[in-house]
Chains A and B, each alone.
Chain A
Amino acid sequence: MSHPKLANIFLKNEDRVNWHDKALWFVREKRDVAVNKVKGWEELREVAASIKSNVLSNLDNYLLQFEENAIRNGIKVHWAMNATEHNEIVLKILQENGAKHIVKSKSMLTEECGLNPYLEKSGIEVIDTDLGERIVQLANEPPSHIVLPAIHKRKEEIDALFVEKWGIKGGNGNAEYLTREARKHLREKFLIADAAITGVNFAIAENGGFVVCTNEGNADMGTHLANIHIACMGIEKIIPEMEHLGVFLRLLARSATGQPITAYSSHFFKPRPGTQLHVVIVDNGRSQLLGRPEFRKSLHCIRCGACLNTCPVFRKTGGYSYESVIPGPIGSILGPGTDMEKYNSLPFASTLCGSCTDVCPVKIDIHSQLYKWRQIISPKKGTSIKKLAARVTGNILGNPKLFRLSATIGTVLLRYLPGSLMKNLTAWGKGRELPKVPKQRFRDWYIKNRKE
C-alpha cells in the first residue's frame, strides 16, 4: 500500500497519533538539550560529514585494509554481494558449528536481509535481545523505528504480550516490572546461546576492529558468553582511523536518544581465546548507490534515528506507514534506491520542511534528496492524469495569456461552485475551507491603481 493509504489508517485513532507524536517529540527535545551542551556541534557534524565523504571516495581501499588487519587479529572476514549471500554465509557458519540457539542484538542490516526468517526455516532459534526488538519479535511484527523498535506499542499491550507468551503475571503495564521479567527471560537465552549475532556501528580500517553500541548490554551479554560471534556490517560502516570514533561516538547517542554516549561502546579486535569471531561485509545495493552522485550522501547514515524523531510525518503516521525496513525520512531516500516501484510514494510523504537535514549528525541533505527522487519518480509514473495536468499547467504557467485565462476560470469556478460540492470534490475540502475568492485579483488592482 502507498504511504497515504497506510497513514490514513494510522490517523484514524487520534489519541494514538497524539501519543506517538509526543513520545517521539520527547526524544527530539532530549536530543536538543544534549547537542546544545556540545561546544562546536555544527563543526562536529561538518567533521563527521567530511570523514564520511573521504570514506566513500576510498571505500575499496579501506575495506581491503580493514580485512587485512582483521584477519591478522584472528577475525574471519566474509563478503556478501547481496542479502541472500549474507544469509547463506551466516547459516553456513552456524551449521558448521552445530549452533542451534542464537542471540542477536540490534542490526538493521539483518532486518534488511531478512535473516531471522531465513535461519528459522533451517530450524535455528534466533532470539532478538534488545528489549524493543524482543517485544516486536514476540508480536511477530517488524520494528517500527530503527532505534526504538517498539515505540508504537503501549505499555498495556506489552504487558498483555508478555503474559500471553511467557505466562507471567500481569504488571499493569509497569515498565520496570516488565523489563525485569524480560531480563529473566533473556538471561536464560544468553546462557544457552551457541552463537551471538551483532550489527556493527563502526568498523576501523587502520586496525581491523569494530564497535557495537548498546544501552542494555545485550550485545555484550551475547558475544562474551557464546563461543561464536558473527558481526554483520554494510560496506559503508567503515571509518579510516580509531581516532575518528571520537567524532562519531560524540554524535551518535546524542542524536539518537539525547544521551551523551550509550551505556556500552564495545570495541572488538580479536576473538576471545578459544572462540570464533566472524565479520560479514555486505553490499546489497550499496555500491550501486555509491554510483549515483545525487544520492550518494545517503551512505553517510549512522542509523541514529534523529530524522525519524524530528519528522512530523513520521511522528504522526508511525513507522509502519512506510512499509520499508528503514522508515522515516532516511528510509524514504534509501527505499526508492532499492525498489523504486514499491517505494514510489515515500519521497512524497514529506512537506520538504527540511528538519531532517538540519538534525542529521552526518549532514545528509535528506529533504533535497526527497525532491530529487520526486523528479525521477513522477515522470515515470506513466501517462497519468497528474502528468498530463502538470504538462498543461507547465505550458499555462509559461504563457501569461493562457495563465490569465485559466486563473480567471479557476477564480470563477471557486466563486460559483457551491461549497458543499467543493467539499466533496477535493481532498483539500475534507478538513479545510477553500480560500474566499476576492472580487479583484492583485494584477487587476495594480493596473487600475498604479498604471492608469
Chain B
Amino acid sequence: MSKNEIIASIRRNKPSLIELELPDYQQFREDIDTVSLFKQQVNEAGGSVIECNRGDIEKILSDNYQNVSEVYSLIDEFNPLDNRSADDEPSEYKNLDLVVLNGKFGVAENGAIWVPDSNLSQRIIPFITRNLVLVVLQMSLVANMHDAYTEIGKFSEGFGVFIAGPSKTADIEQSLVIGAQGPLSLTVFLV
C-alpha cells in the first residue's frame, strides 16, 4: 500500500528529530490602535467600513441597498422577507444580491474577518452573493494573526474562513480588479 511505502520512505530519509520550539509571539506585538488599523486595512483590501450602532444597521442597509431584489440576512437586526431554508441546494442562492452576516471577530493587521460555519447557514453564501455585509463588534478586534488563532482556540466546526475585502484579481497585466469569482463588494459594519 502506498501509505506504508511513503511512511517507510520518510522514515528512511528524514533527519533526526529537530524539536518544535515554542514560538515567542510576544516579539511580534505592536502598540497599535486596532480600530483605526482595522478600518485602514479593510479599505486597502477593497472593502469599506461603516461605524455605527447596532440599532442603525437596518436603516443604513435599507437606505444603501434599495434596488436589490434578493437579500439574505442572518443578523437579528435585519430581517428582509426570506423563505429560504438551510436544506436548499447551494446553487439556489445564485441570484443573491446582498448577504448580511455576523463576523466572529476582525484582525487589525490585515482587515480579515473570521466567519465560521456557525455564522452561516450554507457555506456558499458569503461567496456567491454580489454584495456582502459583515457585522463586526469593535470589541472583538484582535491585533494580528497570532492573536486571531488564540481567539479561535480549539476549533471544532466543519469550516471557517478569513475574509479580507471583496474577491479580487490582478491576473490581467497586474491591474487590480475588484470582484472576481466571489462578491463584488464588501461592507463592514463596525459596531
Contact = CB atoms under 8 A, between A and B. Distances in A.
Interface in A231-273: 235, 240, 242-247, 249-250, 257, 259-272
A190 B19 CA distance: 44
Interface string B9-42: 1111111111111010101111000000000010
A215 B17 CA distance: 36
Contacts of B13: 287-288, 290-291
B148 to A, nearest CB: 6
B40 to A, nearest CB: 11
A151 B3 contact: no
Interface string A272-286: 100000000101000
B50 interface: no
Nearest to B123: A224
A261 B162 contact: yes
B6 interface: yes
Interface stretch (A78-86, A115-123, A344-352): A78-86
B28 A44 contact: yes
Contacts of A59: 10, 14
Contacts of B19: 54
A158 B1 contact: no
Contacts of B155: 207, 209, 242, 267, 269
A105 to B, nearest CB: 9
B162 A56 contact: no
Contacts of A264: 127, 161-164, 167, 182
Contacts of A23: 173-174
A217 interface: yes
A381 B102 CA distance: 62
B144 interface: yes
B169 A131 contact: yes
Contacts of A130: 171
Interface stretch (A171-179, A368-376, A423-431): A171-179
Contacts of B157: 269-270
Contacts of A243: 146, 149-150
B181 A216 contact: yes
B170 A47 contact: no
B28 A291 contact: no
Interface in B103-131: 107, 109-112, 122-124, 127-128
A226 to B, nearest CB: 9
Contacts of B158: 73, 268-272
Contacts of A400: none
B134 to A, nearest CB: 13
Contacts of A165: none
Contacts of A296: 15
B161 A267 contact: yes
Given A79-B3, A85-B2, A57 B180 contact: no
A58 B10 CA distance: 9
Contacts of A191: 91, 94
Contacts of B164: 259-265
B80 interface: no
| Interface of chain B, main secondary structure | loop
Contact of B21 (A50, A153, A216): A50
A67 to B, nearest CB: 8
Determine which residue in A51, A63, A150, A225 has the highest number of CB atoms from chain B within 10 A of its CB, and name it.
A225
Contact of A81 (B5, B25, B122, B159): B5
B7 interface: yes
B24 to A, nearest CB: 8
Interface residues of B, number: 75
B181 A260 contact: no
Contacts of A267: 155, 159-161
A272 B123 contact: yes
A40 interface: yes
Interface in B137-191: 144-146, 148-150, 152, 154-155, 157-175, 177, 179-183
A403 interface: no
Contacts of B9: 283, 287-288
A39 interface: yes
B5 to A, nearest CB: 6
B101 interface: no
A334 B47 CA distance: 38
B12 to A, nearest CB: 7
A201 to B, nearest CB: 12
Contacts of A176: 175, 177
Residue in A81, A190, A264 whose Cβ sees the most chain B Cβ within 10 Å: A264
A413 interface: no
A303 interface: no
Given A217-B181, A221-B182, A272 B18 contact: no
Contacts of B30: 39
Contact of B18 (A54, A80, A249): A54
B98 interface: no
Given A44-B28, A150-B171, A266 B144 contact: no
A154 interface: yes
Interface in A38-72: 38-40, 43-44, 47, 50-51, 53-54, 56-60, 63-64, 67
15 contacts: A51-B20, A132-B171, A207-B154, A215-B167, A224-B128, A247-B146, A261-B110, A263-B163, A263-B168, A264-B161, A265-B161, A268-B158, A270-B159, A283-B6, A293-B15
Interface of B: 1-3, 5-7, 9-21, 23, 25, 27-30, 41, 44-45, 90-91, 94, 107, 109-112, 122-124, 127-128, 144-146, 148-150, 152, 154-155, 157-175, 177, 179-183
Given A225-B91, A265-B164, A283-B2, 8 more contacts: A56-B14, A63-B7, A175-B172, A179-B179, A224-B90, A244-B23, A264-B163, A269-B159
10 tightest CB-CB pairs across the interface, nearest first?
Answer: A217-B182, A291-B13, A270-B158, A216-B180, A260-B110, A132-B171, A224-B124, A287-B9, A217-B167, A79-B3
